[in-house]
Structure 1
């Protein structure tokens, strides 16, 4: 019988794994042989390795689409193995690096438009994946921002929602996230990553820099409005299940979430982690957002209370709030409703003439 940490992880994030591309059969087989939280990442690595071996066989036979799909499954399996898993930081870091490479390999086979970007941030390098919609010469683009221990490798299908509507995507690992998080800890002013990313892209003539959107998920639902408040080039922002002040719900967070934040923030202990969490605070910030803003959550969210996300909307001049009555955290249990709505809204905002 799985231990309580595994049960907690599945209760909070099980639908999210499926939504973001973990095969249901991989999930069931991995959980069935995992008895303890300590064994969570090793068992997911085993599942990822099985997919990677299948990918190599497909590559050897010249079946590049099959290989690309298997490399993507390997990457997302490995990612969710080390997601909020702080048992062995060296093993988790190695899984991060392997998941990154597996996504790079997958995109090389599945999306010839994909590019890996390197962004100078605070003296280190941050990373992002750029994808472009086929047949669109100069598309608008959406910067996709992960949450706590979420990464760009998680977003293949979320990106597709925008690509299908003619929008390019730039999925960013910022401070504390993915491979960037190995060298740059969490910080409240996420614009330190967004602004240099937009600076880097500004020199390209194959993107429409007057039509830029930003979308953030979970803690990214804090980062997105925070960064947009201080970045005037953005035309629209969407935040999904984001907190108004992350430290407010510290005591109610699952233990692995508190531990993950503490580690990713570079804190010495959980008490210092709490103090840093309280600096992720939108007080006085949302009022600076002058562009249309969509805030989405689920009423059954047990991680970030829906009232936190509603407060973001209430304090944003052009804020719109949508609360799915049966939605969970990130509304990941309703992807067929939430994702099209978010992508349609963003496409509508970025298709309109930019406002002065």
Structure 2
């Protein structure tokens, strides 16, 4: 498929809404129109094109609501939230760009306006965690809104938002008879953007808090709670499930063994460093670190991934501190503790899924490895060009785990 956007970073982020087309998050022509509006423009042009489209959709939603067309208003508000969410990722980094906060707040408002028009009304939730509760939303099963049902807790990744998870995961789950619980944890969405709370490796603490909340929710079957993580959530969800026995089924899309190991491979291949010298990335030679730092800053995509996103999400301000933090995010010593049936996905041409097989082999629980291919149009990170295939197969697997009446 040829690129819609002319800039590689813009293509990465601007193509996300393609995955949401089957679930009402966008239509292809709208995405293409934004790409044409951006043209050869910079990150500001990218931001302005998406926000402008979001504003237009929100205006249409308001007009529909004024005219008594609640169904259209709901659809348009939710769609506007996707367009606002797509706008600001190239602006990542500390200090927080005011434009990022502006678009994120517009995104949240549009999402909540759309969900409020659902039947029954879906309202924002607050999940207790230390001094700063986590924002969340309970998305009921379609047509079974008042029944006790199995629940899927959807765990986001490095830079996705609740809006992304809603369209990529929760709509499909709702259609299949599952309740869903969406949340922002430390280092994600509102917890990072609004409160400056960084990512943490002890994700079992986070999942314990979310499950504590879930089991007290009246519509949740406490014996059928699944945990599903996508992108970096393919590490976070398993790390959480390793310390939370109330999780009855686990999905990691893709199965992510570690953050640091990916960097280790690049360092060995790109900089000719012996593998043994990369055993502890936080203790690398300073000369090598300086060389790496210059290389990262010279590459816009790497600079975004490591400096703009990595430093900010991990709450650090230099490469050594970031790499030392990355070492803490590993399933080593934790994978063996997962007890529930576990599904690991691995998509062709997804470098972040490279260790999914190692992860799978280390598991001691009932387990399934599910592969996705370019022939199916489902290659690449999180199967974003054929997300409906991913959802169909994963939910079929979950139906099997939870037995008759699960969907």
After TM superposition, the score normalised by the length of structure 2 is 0.80
Q: Which residue of 2 aligns with 1:296?
A: 345
- Provide structure 1 residue ranges, at least 5 long, that are not aligned to the other structure: none
Q: Which residue of 2 aligns with 1:287?
A: 336
SS of match in other structure, 2:29? helix
Which structure would you say has the larger Rg?
2
Q: How many residues in Structure 1 have an aligned counterpart in Structure 2?
A: 350
1:341–1:13: structure 2 CA closer, same or farther, 3 Å change rule? farther
Q: Which residue of 2 aligns with 1:47?
A: 53
Q: Which residue of 1 aligns with 2:295?
A: none
Distance across 1 between alignment mates of 2:125 and 2:116: 14
1:103-122 pair list within 5 angstroms: 103-112=111-120, 114-122=122-130
Q: How well do the aligned residues superpose, as a CA RMSD in angstroms?
A: 2.4
SS of match in other structure, 2:127? strand
Q: Quick one: which of 126, 150, 162 aligns to 2:160?
A: 150
Q: Quick one: which of 308, 315, 333 aligns to 2:385?
A: 333
Superposition deviation, residue 177 in structure 1 = 0.9
Distance across 2 between alignment mates of 1:125 and 1:247: 29
Q: Which residue of 2 aligns with 1:226?
A: 239
Q: Quick one: which of 174, 187, 193 aligns to 1:163?
A: 174
1:41–1:274: structure 2 CA closer, same or farther, 3 Å change rule? farther
Which segments of structure 1 move beyond 4 Å, counting only runs of 4 or more? none
**Are the aligned partners of 2:151 and 2:220 in contact in 1 as well (CA < 8 Å)?**
yes
Superposition deviation, residue 144 in structure 1 = 0.4
After TM superposition, the score normalised by the length of structure 1 is 0.91
Deviates more, 1:281-290 or 1:155-164: 155-164
Distance across 2 between alignment mates of 1:154 and 1:280: 23
Superposition deviation, residue 131 in structure 1 = 1.1
- Provide structure 2 residue ranges, at least 5 long, that are not aligned to the other structure: 268-300
**Are the aligned partners of 1:113 and 1:131 in contact in 2 as well (CA < 8 Å)?**
no
Q: Which residue of 2 aligns with 1:89?
A: 97
Matched, 1:58 2:61: no
Q: Quick one: which of 238, 257, 265 aligns to 2:305?
A: 257
Superposition deviation, residue 232 in structure 1 = 0.8
Superposition deviation, residue 112 in structure 1 = 2.0
Superposition deviation, residue 236 in structure 1 = 0.3
Distance across 2 between alignment mates of 1:18 and 1:168: 24
Q: Which residue of 1 aligns with 2:85?
A: 79
Distance across 1 between alignment mates of 2:388 and 2:219: 30
Output one character per residue of 1:271-318: Cα deviation in whole Å (capped at 9) or x when no partner: 32222222211111110001100011211114x1x3222222111122
Superposition deviation, residue 84 in structure 1 = 4.8
Distance across 1 between alignment mates of 2:202 and 2:260: 15
SS of match in other structure, 1:323? strand
Superposition deviation, residue 13 in structure 1 = 4.7
